[in-house]
Amino acid sequence: MKDLRKNSQQCDNDDRYHMLFERASSAIVIHREGQILDANASACELFGYNSEGLKGQDLLSFVEGSGEEIRNIIPNGTSRSELRIQKADSTLIDVEVSSFNIDDDGSVQGAIIRDITEFLDARKTLQDNLRFIGTLLDTIPSPIYYKDRNNVYIGCNKAFSKDIIGVPKEDIIGKNLFDFSHAIPLDTASVYHKFDMELMLKGGTQRYEGTVRKADGKAGDFIFNKAVYTDYTGKINGIVGVMLEVTDYKKAVQSLLEKTSLLEGLLRSVPDMVFFKDRKGVYLGSNPVFSEYVGIPMDDIIGKTDFELFDQETAEFFREKDRAVIESGSSRRNEEWVDYPDGSRVLLETFKAPLRMPDGNIIGSLGIGRDITGRKLAEHSILEAKIAAEVANRTKNEFIANMSHELRTPLNSIIGFSDVLAEGISGDLNNEQARYVSHISNSGKHLLGIINSIIDISKIENGKVELYYELVDIIDLINESIDLLTPLAEQKSIVIQVEDRSASRMCIIGKTQISQVLYNLIGNAIKFTHPGGSVTITIDEEEDVFSISVTDTGIGIPHDHLEDIFLPFKQVDSQKSRRYSGTGLGLALVREFVEIHGGHVKVESEPEKGSTFSFTVPKKVTKNEDRPKSL
């Protein structure tokens, strides 16, 4: 107003001053302590009165409210205030009033009144928007901050203040990176500061990863996404940073990588082919064995189908099998001949299963294949060799049995006629002739024994032994064998004793075979005992079995031969036992005959002291209905 007055004084022209007053676009009112002395055209328009209507009115009567606000309108000196005034048509408008003294004593004042309704509306909208943005930022779980050109924080969201720095927003604003060394160590802060400065210089955006100690004391991995913000002229005003926590993500990625590499390692080391396809039969992956078979690198197999790897027929066959496991949801095993691109033909044993996601959803098929061509061929050869061996063995046994039968007939003639000669029926023999005839007879009988044993052994091997079960008195059976062998024992002055410790004596057994067992064991005991020795037969009884032992005081058996003497034709090959005749078939028969009764044979022996052969025989073998009659 001073300037205005000065100007008007310079012009020294009241009319020009008045014109300026009248034409001013701002409303100007001149008043004395509120009473309006003059008002320009803009003021008349603002209040809705003509100049005469306004003059004399109390300016305060237009102002809404009372007290402080009204008093502000008539200040002592220059002031600005925002008020609400009522126009002539009773509408209210917001105005900014700038007051100034016109008189030196301040009794006459001017007021420039500006309609600020639009300005206030805009300001309110701005405030609403800022509040909205604040809420929005606080709702975002990622820490967000913004700084000015000097790298001083001018704002942040709740996640940044609470989770990262751990102090209220107000304590962050106005500070910089170096003020929070508990969260950002100084050396890290210098690095971030450098990044900030670079960004502010170059503009645009920036992205990097870093580790931050969070408010809870735990270290967190973050991706920093930063960008500059500018004013309306495009001048960089500062930077905005958004931090994305990737700690859990990195851990998950790490564990996934570990699992993946473990699985990859497994796949690589599996000696079988492994492959997996999606529901449409497109390969999702495979292992090196499969890649080698199809002759295509593993990476190139991915994305192909069987129709690109195999001939049409094979591919359709595989497609069918895949479809079956996907549709049924269950796994299958197949054996199939497959022609490979390299021309090889292999027998594959494949195991196919549905490929499922963790939620059970079937996304394709998984196959494990093994080349069993070699195994099948080997199995086949083994089977053929086994059949051939069995045929050869049967032929051999049949040949031996037939030959033995053929030999028995002439042998019986030899024995029979030599006995006839010995008895002198066809004339007396001199001593020498009698001795020769006796040799013929003894040798014939020995040969017959061998032939009979061979027949028995081949019968066992051919499974043709037939047991005819009879009710037998076991003591009688023992005595029968002793009777047959007594002449032999007497020749060597060997005493045979029987110790019967059993309460019962009857059993149902294959009489011929058990009789043969007893004969062989007692015969051996006499054969391998020095003259003057003794043979003791003991009969014990347990609940369902008889246990019979034949003990001699003979030459005994070396420990390393205790097992193999039961093998056919096996004899202890020593200077001493060589002196004894025999075929090595006796004990083999003993074991077979005892075992087909369900019993067991064992031997205990001490060289030069004697041996004990024991066997058990169930009393009622026939009661066991599972036991076949013919073995």
Q: Which residues bind ligand ADP (CB under 6 A)?
A: 520, 524-525, 528, 552, 554-557, 565, 570-572, 577, 582-588, 611
Least Å from the CB of residue 428 to ligand ADP: 36
- When the beta carbons of 3 and 573 are compared against ligand ADP, the nearer one is 573
- When the beta carbons of 137 and 603 are compared against ligand ADP, the nearer one is 603
Burial 103-127 (b: 16+ CB within 10 A, else e): eeebeebbbbbbbbeeebeeeeeee
- When the beta carbons of 548 and 621 are compared against ligand ADP, the nearer one is 548
Nearest to 552 by CA among 528, 531, 573: 528
Alpha carbons 272 and 289: distance in angstroms, whole number? 6
Alpha carbons 192 and 183: distance in angstroms, whole number? 13
Q: Is 278 left (phi over 0), alpha (psi -120 to 50) or beta?
A: beta
Least Å from the CB of residue 482 to ligand ADP: 15
- When the beta carbons of 30 and 572 are compared against ligand ADP, the nearer one is 572
Please report, for residues 66, 122, 129, 145, the alpha-carbon distance to residue 135 in angstroms, rounded to integers and kept in the order given: 36, 20, 10, 14
**Residues in contact with 629: Cβ distance below 8 Å, sequence separation at least 6, in sequence order:** 466, 467, 469
CB 229 within 8 A of CB 239: yes
Least Å from the CB of residue 621 to ligand ADP: 24
Alpha carbons 343 and 333: distance in angstroms, whole number? 24
Least Å from the CB of residue 273 to ligand ADP: 55
- When the beta carbons of 300 and 606 are compared against ligand ADP, the nearer one is 606
Dig out the tokens for 186 from the structure.
């100084």
CB 192 within 8 A of CB 199: no
Chain centroid to CA 33: 94
Alpha carbons 366 and 356: distance in angstroms, whole number? 9
Q: Which amino acid is at 128?
A: D
Least Å from the CB of residue 524 to ligand ADP: 3
- When the beta carbons of 404 and 611 are compared against ligand ADP, the nearer one is 611
Dig out the tokens for 373 from the structure.
């061509």
Alpha carbons 253 and 512: distance in angstroms, whole number? 81
**Residues in contact with 408: Cβ distance below 8 Å, sequence separation at least 6, in sequence order:** 448, 451, 452
Alpha carbons 415 and 50: distance in angstroms, whole number? 173
- When the beta carbons of 458 and 571 are compared against ligand ADP, the nearer one is 571
- When the beta carbons of 373 and 534 are compared against ligand ADP, the nearer one is 534
Least Å from the CB of residue 555 to ligand ADP: 5
Nearest to 226 by CA among 213, 250, 209, 214: 209
Least Å from the CB of residue 269 to ligand ADP: 54
Least Å from the CB of residue 470 to ligand ADP: 25
- When the beta carbons of 571 and 614 are compared against ligand ADP, the nearer one is 571
- When the beta carbons of 354 and 610 are compared against ligand ADP, the nearer one is 610
Would strands 273-278 and 236-245 be described as parallel, antiparallel, or unpaired? unpaired
The secondary structure element, H or E, covering residue 236 is strand 236-245
Beta bridge partners of 29: 39, 111
Least Å from the CB of residue 565 to ligand ADP: 4
Q: What is the DSSP letter of 381?
A: H
Least Å from the CB of residue 566 to ligand ADP: 7
Least Å from the CB of residue 576 to ligand ADP: 9
> 417-424 contacts: CB < 8 A, separation 24 or more?
418/444
Nearest to 48 by CA among 57, 80, 1, 73: 57
Q: Which amino acid is at 29?
A: V
- When the beta carbons of 166 and 449 are compared against ligand ADP, the nearer one is 449
Alpha carbons 216 and 163: distance in angstroms, whole number? 7
Least Å from the CB of residue 585 to ligand ADP: 6
- When the beta carbons of 153 and 528 are compared against ligand ADP, the nearer one is 528
Least Å from the CB of residue 535 to ligand ADP: 9
- When the beta carbons of 513 and 524 are compared against ligand ADP, the nearer one is 524
Alpha carbons 144 and 174: distance in angstroms, whole number? 16
